[in-house]
Structure 1
Amino acid sequence: MTAWFRVMTYNVRYDNPEDGEHRWANRREGVADTIRFREPSLLGLQEPLANQLSYLQDRLPNYEWVGDPRVDGDEEGEYSPIGFDERRFALEATDTFWLSETPERAGSLGWDARHPRIVTWARLRDRDTDRVLVHANTHFSHDGPRARRHSARLLRERLDELTDDEPLIVTGDFNCIAGEPAHETIIDPEAGRRTLYNAIDRSEYGHHGPETSVTDFEHLVPSRKIDHIFVTDGLEVRQHGVCTDLYAEGRYPSDHFPVLAQVRLE
C-alpha cells in the first residue's frame, strides 16, 4: 500500500513593508523552519511575492516549485505556488488560471473582487507507485463575497475539465469557514463530476489544534478556520491539524497558521 505523505496549505503573508516588527525579514526563517520541520511532500502557499518564493526555494532545496503570479502571469504580484518534494513526486503538467469570467487572461478580475485571484495546478506522478494525482492550490478573494461563490463554482468546473479520474487535492486560503456559501459549493456533490471532501471531515483521527487558522502574529483570531485541504475519493486521510509553531516567544511566522493533513493514495 502507498506510503503516507503530508499535504500543507500555508498563507505566508506577503512582504508588506508596513508590517513593522512582523515584516518578512524578521519572520522568513520561521516560515522556512516550520515547513522544513513538518515535512510536507505537497505544499500550497498563498501570498508570496517573487522575493519570498526565491528565499524559500533557497532554504527548501528538496522542493520543486510551479506557478505564476496573479497580476501579469510573469513577474508581478502574489503567487499561489505549489511546492512538491521531488524525491517523492515527478511533474507531468502544470498551469495557472484566473478566477474570473476570462480564466485564461492574465490579471483578469472576477466579479466583485478588487484583486486578481488564481488557481495553480500540477499533475504529479508518485515515484513510489507510478500513480498520478492532481494538486490545485488557490487563494479566494477576501473582499468579494460574490467572487468567492463564483470562484468556487469555476474551480469545480475547471478541475473537471483538467482531470480525468485522478485523485485530487485542493489546498488554499478560501477566506470562508465551513458552512459559508463558497465552502459549501466546493463540497457540493452536484457542483462537479466528483465530490470534494474537507479533509478535516475525513480524518481517521479527527482534528488536532485550534479551530482557527488566522492570527494577528501574536494571538489567535477565534473561529476563523478559512484555510482548508480538500480531497476526492481515492485519497485516505489519517490526520488533520492546524500547526501553531512559534518562531520567537509569543510570535507566529505568519498571520495564518499552516494546515496539515496526512494522506495516502488508496
Structure 2
Amino acid sequence: MAAPTNSKTTDEIRLVSWNIRMDALSDSITVDETIAGLPTELPSDPESYFPNTAERPWSERRIAVANTLLFDRADLMGLQEVTKRQLDDLEILLGNDYANIGVGREDGKEDGEYSPIFYRKSAAKLIEWDTFWLSDTPFEPSKYPGAGNTRICTTAQFKGKSGIFTYMNTHLDHLSDEQRGYGLSLILHRAKYEAIKTKRPVFVTGDFNSRPDQLGYQVITGQVEPLELNSTFTEKYSWSDQQEKEFVFKDLIAETVPERRSGDYATFTGFADPDGTDSYSRIDFVMAGSNGGWKSNSFRVAGTLTDNGLWSSDHKPVISDLTIYKGRY
C-alpha cells in the first residue's frame, strides 16, 4: 500500500501469527524446573543432527517458543491453540514487557483454548477488546454446526504514535470448510465495520486451516462473496449506505516486495522429519485491510526446528514488519 505523502508520525510494528500447539502431552513440570534442567556446558558437535523429531511435551517446547518471540522482538503476537497453562507460562517467560488479552473458547473465561493477543506495552496501548464466537450465535460460547471445535476471534483496538488501529486474531476449524467460510465472513464484516468507524488500519492474524485455494481464504480476500450472517451480528456492526465501501483483506506475503520475503512459505509442518515435506502447507496468515494506512516492509516464516530434533510447534510463526501511518484514511 502506498504511503500517504503527509505522514510524519509512524509506528514500526512487528506482527506475528503463531499456532504454538496445545499442551497435548501434558505433565506437571514447572517453568522453574524446565529452566533448572537446561544444560549449562558448552555445546559440542552431536553424533547426528535432527534425531527423533516426534512431538515433545510443552515443558520441553516452551523455552523455544518464548525465545522465538523474544529473539525476534515481536510487538504484537496473535497466538493459537493456547491453553491456560501455556498462557500462564508465557506470561512468566516473556516477562513484564508484555501483556495479553483473550478468553478460553469453551466458556468465555478460562476453559478451552485461547486465541490470545500478546503485545509489547511500549509498542502500543490497549484501548478496548472483546471476543466473539465464529458460529451462528456469535455473542455466546457456541460451536458452528458440523464444526470439529468451538472457534473464536479476539478483537482489540490499540493506540500507537500513528493513532488507533484494530487487530483481530483467530483460529478456524480443522474439519469444516463451511465453518471456515462462515467464520471468516464474520471476521470480514466486523473488520469492515471497524475500518469504517475508525477510518484507520485493520489487521488480522490466524491459523485459518484454509489454503489459498479454499473457501475461507477466498472469502476474506474477496475472491468469493461472504456467507449470509447472523442478523444480530450485522445489526450490531452496521454502517449506513452512505458509508458503504469495498473492504477485503490483503495477504501480506503478496504486499511485500520479493526481495524482502523469506524463502520459506509453508507454515504447517507437523512434527515431521525435515525430509518429509509432503504434508507441509500454508494455512497461517498475517493480513491487512484494503482501506490502507500501512506498508509491509518484510515478510518471513521463521524456523522452528533445532539441531537436537526439537520442533517448538507443528506450525511456524509468520512474521511481518509493518509501518503504520498517521492520519485518517
Do Structure 1 and Structure 2 share a fold, with TM-score over 0.5? yes
Picking from 99, 104, 107, the partner of 2:139 is 104
Picking from 239, 244, 266, the partner of 2:303 is 244
Picking from 3, 12, 36, the partner of 1:4 is 12
- The alpha-carbon deviation at position 179 of structure 1 amounts to 2.3
Structure 1: tracts of 5 or more residues without a match: none
Q: What stretches of structure 1 move > 6 A for 4+ residues in a row?
A: none
Q: Write the distance in 2 (CA, Å) between the matches of 1:14 and 1:140.
A: 15
Paired residues of 1:214 and 1:224 also in contact (CA < 8 A) = yes
- The alpha-carbon deviation at position 251 of structure 1 amounts to 2.1
Q: Write the distance in 2 (CA, Å) between the matches of 1:48 and 1:5.
A: 23
- Three-state SS of the structure 2 residue aligned to 1:159 is helix
Instruction: Give 1:159's aligned residue.
Output: 191
Q: Over aligned residues, Cα RMSD in angstroms?
A: 2.0
TM-score by length of 2: 0.75
1:3-42 to structure 2, matched below 5 A, reads 3-17=11-25, 22-42=56-76
Paired residues of 1:209 and 1:244 also in contact (CA < 8 A) = no
- Three-state SS of the structure 2 residue aligned to 1:148 is helix
Q: For 1:217, give the aligned amino acid.
A: F
Instruction: Give 1:131's aligned residue.
Output: 163
- The alpha-carbon deviation at position 66 of structure 1 amounts to 0.5
More strand as a share of residues:
1
Instruction: Give 1:203's aligned residue.
Output: 256
TM-score by length of 1: 0.92
Residues 30-66 of structure 1 deviation map (CA, whole Å, 9 limit, x = unaligned):
1001111111111000001001000001111211100
1:1-266 to structure 2, matched below 5 A, reads 1=8, 2-17=10-25, 22-61=56-95, 62-106=97-141, 108-126=142-160, 129-163=161-195, 164=197, 165-188=199-222, 193-204=246-257, 205-219=259-273, 221-222=277-278, 223-232=280-289, 233-266=292-325
Q: Write the distance in 1 (CA, Å) between the matches of 2:59 and 2:307.
A: 14
Paired residues of 2:13 and 2:324 also in contact (CA < 8 A) = no
Residues 215-235 of structure 1 deviation map (CA, whole Å, 9 limit, x = unaligned):
223445455010000102111
Residues 145-183 of structure 1 deviation map (CA, whole Å, 9 limit, x = unaligned):
111111111111122334422201100000011122110
**Which has the higher relative contact order, 1 or 2, with Cα contacts under 8 A spaced 6 or more apart?**
2
Q: For 2:263, give the aligned amino acid.
A: G
| Aligned residue-pair number | 263
| Aligned sequence identity (%) | 31
- The alpha-carbon deviation at position 209 of structure 1 amounts to 3.1
